[in-house]
Structure 1
């Protein structure tokens, strides 16, 4: 067994009664399976395939504090948060650490059978629905998924029944805060029925000194039923002392339409994984993302998209701007099964490296077992275009201003893909501020913490 994982399986054995007593059966039922998987597991080495810059062992080895006893923490959304996206009315829930909080008056929908709230509560109120879906996509083969399943006590459940279309976007605000090293074990379960529709804005923030190590261990399982439409916007604005391991698992049925947009505005060490199966004919999936990395920040993206049914379409685009001594990585695989005739799949990774010390690694891949397809993939990594800089300098723009405008233009097509106009406008402002050197913006945070002033 890997030494970095042993402390967690020991923790389960020592505190199993405590953990189970605070959770419903659907969450408790998979702990033994997950623990057995971890005991047989060796973590991938940094530098190995698909883990070129990230060491899971280094991220998981510290003695992270975990709130197993579910000790209540003081949290008042009215004092610490406001929506930073003008003209966007959302129904809000909060993940404070790994505890879901839905304040009164947050506008969360509960009519027509819709559920948006605590996963622990959903496991008690609708155990059969949770049991049918929880852990079925993530499994236990991946170390992040297995560890999350073994220790998960709460998270968020989104359930939209057949034919229900939510007009108002859902907003999940995740906040890490602490004066001691802490790990938040977060689980998000999304189930959309046939012909349903939902938009989810996820805002991931850190509050505090900006120097205390904090860790988010997050797994998302998303089911898009036949003919459903799901948009997910995942925006990270955290401090340089924050580590994030996030794995998203998606299963799409026939004619479903999913947009997933991962935005890393500021962070410490981040690895985002996307594992998506297109299982129904005519499913459409768009995966986009951008990362702005400077100082000693670290952003790692891995994606695996499997076309298992005919006439599905994927459009994947990730862009990075890397500066100072930051490190970035993109590894993506699109797989086309023998029976997936009529597939369209496009994958692109484009990167700008702004300093000699910055590093970017890119590995796009196609694996195709059907001749009736339209597929392409490509990558390009380079510095600023000298001709463009000369042209802009000749018109009176300084180097710094010219590079700022070029960076903004470089990210434009990712932001243009956002299907919420107010959010797209706000992201343009946040990206401009980030490139202007305003750093960690905490745009949606009202807390007067030092990290907001960096």
Structure 2
């Protein structure tokens, strides 16, 4: 691995690579993706790899992740496959419509029992065959506002696409197993799009995994459009090794009377940055955002959320919790903006953090920007260690110290786990949380790959 110290040189490395491959990017892609590719590259040139001087990235140093010598995956790898007999990411008793994404490229695993009119396919295929369904592509993930989004848009070729037509209810969740597996250190770009029309309902489960010990960067962007009176639940399970950098940006646009929920469970990962932006563009919309992370060694987790209340009578709720052990680092920045005339807004935000050692660190920054006067808004944050009095109480009743600590940590995270509406998934996450808190590597069920964690 070669390390580039100068920030300008680091950004130049990626602009030079784009210049080298841009003809292949344009020639092998659709007009709907290419229409924004050139501008996105120019936006990245203006911004560069974000540094701590960028207020939105002040708690995360991206230089070490971007400085490695990566192979870029701009074409589908026909030979690279995942052995389904070796790797299984299953949730017992949960039937799903399943697909695999490997290094940013969509691979349909099997044809599920989807209702008529529902589309679950690769972004590349839809962009070529049904570009009208991507008319809103790039409208909420704006390249000029974030350099990681700009870099993603410049390189974007494939990812997953979900379309649920008006009034359709998808009974079985849609599941994407997102795998990083290559023979060399790899930079992966993934672009996803979810379109839920008026009155429709869908649940999406996205699982992140690495299947060998190479170094990876995954830069993914997901745009989600939730129509009037529609419902969407988006669950993310992050479980990667310590050499993986996961840069995950999700943007949600809501219509009138809609309900949208995101839930992110971070079990393992070297460096994780989760960007989440909700835009509440219809009256009486509800947004619910939940997240929990379990970090140890020198792992890093940074959750950055933005909620824009653009219409009256909307409600948003945020609850994020972190358990930080050894020398791990956590950060949370939550920004709520109630625009002028967005009256009768209810907006709530809470971030609680548990530090298990004196070496673990946490930065938290809740923010309220309120331009309307008839609103109810609150935010709060706590950073602390295990309550010694409560621990003494449990030990006085004959409970061993290690078991008492485990009980207290489970109780701390249960509030977030309990917000998972899919009961089989909730039970599965409960099991993984218990394994993680016991210090075990939270491998997915029956995974025989021996991925290193150091």
In the superposition, the TM-score normalised over structure 2's length comes to 0.95
Q: What is the correspondence of 1:145-294 to structure 2 with a 5 Å cutoff?
A: 145-208=149-212, 210=213, 212-294=214-296
Q: What is the aligned partner in structure 2 of residue 349 from structure 1?
A: 351
Task: Please report how far the alpha carbon of residue 9 of structure 1 lies from its aligned counterpart in structure 2 after TM superposition.
Answer: 2.4
Q: 1:10 to 1:335 in 2, by over 3 A?
A: same
With 393-402 and 261-270 compared, the bigger mean Cα shift is at 393-402
Which of 83, 105, 112 lines up with 1:107 in the alignment? 112
Deviations 1:394-447 (A, max 9, x none): 1122221111110000001101111101111111111001001112x2214634
Task: Please report how far the alpha carbon of residue 170 of structure 1 lies from its aligned counterpart in structure 2 after TM superposition.
Answer: 0.4
- The answer to whether residue 148 in structure 2 is matched with residue 144 in structure 1 is yes
Q: 3-state DSSP class of the match of 1:244?
A: strand
Deviations 1:114-150 (A, max 9, x none): 11110000111111221x1211111212111100000
Q: What is the aligned partner in structure 2 of residue 385 from structure 1?
A: 387
Q: What is the aligned partner in structure 2 of residue 30 from structure 1?
A: 36
CA distance in 2, matches of 1:412, 1:324: 22
- The answer to whether residue 408 in structure 2 is matched with residue 406 in structure 1 is yes
With 86-95 and 397-406 compared, the bigger mean Cα shift is at 397-406
Task: Please say if residues 79 and 447 of structure 1, whose CA atoms lie closer than 8 Å, have aligned partners that are also in contact.
Answer: no
- The answer to whether residue 60 in structure 2 is matched with residue 58 in structure 1 is no
Task: Please say if residues 81 and 447 of structure 1, whose CA atoms lie closer than 8 Å, have aligned partners that are also in contact.
Answer: yes
Structure 1 unpaired stretches of 5+: none
CA distance in 2, matches of 1:160, 1:444: 30
Deviations 1:223-277 (A, max 9, x none): 0010110000001010011101111111101011001001101111000000110
- The answer to whether residue 55 in structure 2 is matched with residue 49 in structure 1 is yes
CA distance in 2, matches of 1:121, 1:414: 36
Q: 3-state DSSP class of the match of 1:79?
A: coil
Task: Please say if residues 52 and 361 of structure 1, whose CA atoms lie closer than 8 Å, have aligned partners that are also in contact.
Answer: no
In the superposition, the TM-score normalised over structure 1's length comes to 0.95
Task: Please report how far the alpha carbon of residue 4 of structure 1 lies from its aligned counterpart in structure 2 after TM superposition.
Answer: 2.2
Task: Please report how far the alpha carbon of residue 106 of structure 1 lies from its aligned counterpart in structure 2 after TM superposition.
Answer: 4.0
Task: Please say if residues 79 and 446 of structure 1, whose CA atoms lie closer than 8 Å, have aligned partners that are also in contact.
Answer: no
CA distance in 2, matches of 1:43, 1:9: 10
Q: How many residues of Structure 1 are paired with residues of Structure 2 in the alignment?
A: 447
Deviations 1:134-192 (A, max 9, x none): 11111212111100000011111111111111011000000011232101101110111
Cα RMSD over matched residues?
1.6
Task: Please report how far the alpha carbon of residue 72 of structure 1 lies from its aligned counterpart in structure 2 after TM superposition.
Answer: 1.9
Structure 2 unpaired stretches of 5+: 1-6
CA distance in 2, matches of 1:70, 1:402: 50
Q: 3-state DSSP class of the match of 1:451?
A: coil
